[in-house]
Amino acid sequence: MSEQAEFQLEMTVRDYECDMQGIVNNGVYQNYLEHARHEFLKEIGIDFVDYTQRGINLVVIRAELDYKLPLSGGDRFKVTVKLEQESRARFAFHQQIIRLSDDRLSLKAKIVGTAMNDRGRPSIPAELDKIMSEMG
Amino acid sequence: MSEQAEFQLEMTVRDYECDMQGIVNNGVYQNYLEHARHEFLKEIGIDFVDYTQRGINLVVIRAELDYKLPLSGGDRFKVTVKLEQESRARFAFHQQIIRLSDDRLSLKAKIVGTAMNDRGRPSIPAELDKIMSEMG
Amino acid sequence: MSEQAEFQLEMTVRDYECDMQGIVNNGVYQNYLEHARHEFLKEIGIDFVDYTQRGINLVVIRAELDYKLPLSGGDRFKVTVKLEQESRARFAFHQQIIRLSDDRLSLKAKIVGTAMNDRGRPSIPAELDKIMSEMG
Amino acid sequence: MSEQAEFQLEMTVRDYECDMQGIVNNGVYQNYLEHARHEFLKEIGIDFVDYTQRGINLVVIRAELDYKLPLSGGDRFKVTVKLEQESRARFAFHQQIIRLSDDRLSLKAKIVGTAMNDRGRPSIPAELDKIMSEMG
């Protein structure tokens, strides 16, 4: 995959994202991953808000998450995104969450998504097609 | 697996759990799954709150989620839980989210967890060991 | 105010709603209050989802919350709703969160809302007008 | 109040924080406000995580929020914090959320908090006392 498709975003754990164990609740990591994907998509010309308003729904169809190391309140981390086309209508996002203090892997994920119009039919954004063909 | 290990919990989608697409945000399903697992665990004698206070952390180490059908505000659904022992220290929860209005599958998941003490060592609750041996 | 306008909903604290202090995070109570208001509105014929789709936005313009007693994981509680008209276009919801185990008040709130159409103009649902006139 | 007590933090609306109306859900603003308060407290030497671990619970006892202008996905905004001592054991945080694109006020809030030890008794951090006396 070409280097252009790599993306990373730095974030900080907010205290309200931690649960009674004092660590980030397992569902919150999906929020981090989604936010990084959307920022990545925006950079390649796909604005989630705009697409939603135009009736094109970018949706997740499968998520695989490996939890390696829990993050705690105040931890700085980066979320990476690499895009890979799985089929005409399926895109895989390979993502990592890495704690910045010691560069250790906190979570590894593969998120598979597609795009559908309001009638539930696949509707792949031209921008995605374009970047995919450029990536060869 | 024995029937005793099956559990189900009925819930309703709350409007704030829906995102701008008008459907439940993908991270929220993990909340539903976790709540059902904790209620299941409570029923077999494992109280997450109590365990946390005693320094035994039940944690998720891998999650696989297949999103089949999005839920919307007000939808009634049930979350099922089936428990399977994967190894001495790893437990798999097979879970489904089923929309009650038409009995259709909304999400299928396998959540793998373990238990660790405060020093990061595996620490399996005796209640889990017991139910596992009873289940044969 | 007439008794018909009173409403209550029972709920249970989910463990993921608790933060590192082991108690429900302060922002989560607003979720509880909103969910109870929406269920109340549905009962009097105002469906938040349906209104949103028709371009009528029910919005909060002021919230006052008094935190009296924190809830913890597993706590059962009820949320009450009483509706009062403040002006032609402003409605006040008087709400309480009461812990069921000992009937103690956990939170008291006044939430003021209005309804606006897509052009940002006040647009009060006929159902609200009707119940208000019936309440005298 | 002295200028030293002013603080501001820039943030971006994440798409998952928006609800079906396409705007930030009303409960999420409390998360923004809390995160800014905790960052402010950290700057003056009070680490929420550390305090919690030491058994000193910083808690909100009252919140007043005026919603002026909804934020949407991708909006950049700043959260401001001004601290004022209301009594020996009560502190008021005056906070604003301002949209950066047009400098318009989105939300104005007064959050009153206190600190309690594990036995529920007031326990004001020395750092707070110190900054308060310095502020005159």
Reported as a single tens digit per residue, the pLDDT across B6-18 is 899 999 999 999 9
Mutate to test the interface with A, among D49, D75, D79 (most CBs of A within 10 A): D49
**CA–CA separation, D20 vs B24, rounded Å?**
9
Mutate to test the interface with C, among A14, A18, A20, A29 (most CBs of C within 10 A): A20
Q: Is D74–A47 a contact, with Cβ atoms under 8 angstroms apart?
A: yes
Q: Is D49–A15 a contact, with Cβ atoms under 8 angstroms apart?
A: yes
Say what the pLDDT of residue C33 is: 98
Whether pLDDT at A4 is above 50: no
Q: pTM to 2 decimals?
A: 0.93
Q: Is C48–B73 a contact, with Cβ atoms under 8 angstroms apart?
A: yes
Burial class (CB in 10 A: 0-12, 13-18, 19+), D81: buried
How high is the ipTM of this complex? 0.92
Separation in Å, CA of A128 to nearest CA in chain B:
20
Give A130-135 contacts, CB < 8 A, sequence gap 24+. A131/A4, A131/A5, A131/A44, A131/A83, A132/A85, A134/A2, A134/A4, A135/A1, A135/A2, A135/A4, A135/A5, A135/A83
Residues of chain B positioned with their CB less than 8 A from the CB of A66: 61-62
- Percent of chain A clearing pLDDT 90 (strictly above): 70
Main-chain dihedrals φ then ψ at residue B2, nearest 5 degrees: -70, 155
Check: CB of residue A115 under 8 Å from CB of residue A124.
yes
- Calculate the average pLDDT of chain A: 91
**CA–CA separation, C49 vs C46, rounded Å?**
9
C16-71 per-position pLDDT tens digit: 999 999 999 999 999 999 999 999 999 989 999 999 988 888 999 999 999 999 99
Sorted by sequence, the CB contacts under 8 Å of residue B100 that are 6+ apart come out as B10, B75, B76, B77, B78
Average pLDDT over residues B59-68: 97
How many CB pairs below 8 Å do chains A and B form together? 60
Instruction: Report strand pairing: A105-116 vs B7-12.
Output: unpaired
Residues of chain B positioned with their CB less than 8 A from the CB of C48: 15, 73
- For A133, the token pair is 């063909």
C114-130 per-position pLDDT tens digit: 998 878 788 887 877 78
Tens place of pLDDT per residue across chain D (136 aa) = 444 458 999 999 999 999 999 999 999 999 999 999 999 999 988 999 999 988 888 999 999 999 999 999 999 999 999 999 898 889 999 999 999 999 999 999 999 999 988 787 888 878 777 877 776 5
Separation in Å, CA of B114 to nearest CA in chain A:
11
Check: CB of residue A102 under 8 Å from CB of residue A121.
no
Separation in Å, CA of A136 to nearest CA in chain D:
30
Average pLDDT over residues B40-48: 92
B66-102 per-position pLDDT tens digit: 999 999 999 999 999 999 989 888 999 999 999 999 9
* Minimum mean pLDDT range among A124-128, B40-44, C87-91, D79-83: A124-128
**At CA B11, angle to CA D19 and CA B80, rounded to 5?**
120
Q: Give me the half-sphere count of Cα atoms (radius 13 Å) on the Cβ side of residue D5.
A: 21
pLDDT band, residue B23 (cuts 50/70/90):
very high
Say what the pLDDT of residue D136 is: 57
Chains that touch A (3 or more CB pairs under 8 A): B, C, D
Largest interatomic CA distance in chain D: 47
DSSP H or E stretch at residue B60: strand B57-67
Taking chain A, what is the end-to-end CA distance rounded to the nearest angstrom?
Answer: 8
Q: Is C45 on the interface with B (CB under 8 A)?
A: no
Whether pLDDT at C1 is above 60: no
Say what the pLDDT of residue B122 is: 82
Q: Is A15–D34 a contact, with Cβ atoms under 8 angstroms apart?
A: yes
**CA–CA separation, C70 vs B122, rounded Å?**
32
Give D85-89 contacts, CB < 8 A, sequence gap 24+. D85/D132, D86/D112, D88/D122, D88/D124, D89/D114, D89/D115, D89/D122, D89/D124
Strands of chain A (E only): list them.
Answer: 7-12, 57-67, 76-87, 90-99, 105-116
Residues of chain A positioned with their CB less than 8 A from the CB of B60: 26, 67
**CA–CA separation, C9 vs B63, rounded Å?**
32
Which residues partner with B77 through β-bridges? B11, B99
Sorted by sequence, the CB contacts under 8 Å of residue C121 that are 6+ apart come out as none
C15, C19, C47, C75: the active-site residue: C19
What is the side-by-side strand order in the sheet with A76-87?
Answer: A7-12, A76-87, A90-99, A105-116, A57-67, B57-67, B104-116, B90-99, B76-87, B7-12
Q: What is the CA radius of gyration of chain D?
A: 16
Which residues partner with B122 through β-bridges? B116
Whether pLDDT at B121 is above 50: yes
Say what the pLDDT of residue C5 is: 52
The beta-carbon neighbor of D52 closest among C21, C28, C63 is C21
- % helix, strand, coil for chain D, step of 5: 30, 40, 30
Separation in Å, CA of B124 to nearest CA in chain D:
25
User: How far, in whole angstroms, is CA D26 from its chain's centroid?
Assistant: 15
* Minimum mean pLDDT range among A118-122, B23-27, D2-6, D131-135: D2-6
Say what the pLDDT of residue D5 is: 53
Q: Is C31 on the interface with D (CB under 8 A)?
A: yes
Q: Is B14–C22 a contact, with Cβ atoms under 8 angstroms apart?
A: no
